[in-house]
Structure 1
Amino acid sequence: MTVTTSDAKVFKNAIKSKVKTWHSMPFTSMDEAVNFVNLEPAQQAGEVCFSHTPDGRIELMYFL
């Protein structure tokens, strides 16, 4: 399953906690991944990593 901008805010709010942990989520495009990273609370320097997958998706690892 890939995540779209419309789903991103719901997912980000669902995983907020007092203890930050690393998460991974696939996106259909870099724009979708960037939109997710910039939602409140926006990730800080060193809290996100992008990777392109062979099928063209963007795999996002983020600390939240």
Structure 2
Amino acid sequence: MNNNEREVTIFLANGETLHFTNVSKLDAQAKILEIDYIGRTTGNERKGFFNLGSQNIVGYAVDY
């Protein structure tokens, strides 16, 4: 799924969240969440992979 300017929040089991802005690609297959985004601090294009089968990740949300 290709997306433009979406935001993704990943919810961790310890109650913390990871928040990504400017997400240009979101793909969740086989318990892996893959996102392409622009790093807020560096301004660099980045790719992140998250194991949705991990006990540390309890879910994620996508803002359209």
TM-score, length of structure 2 as denominator length: 0.28
More helix by share: 1
More strand by share: 2
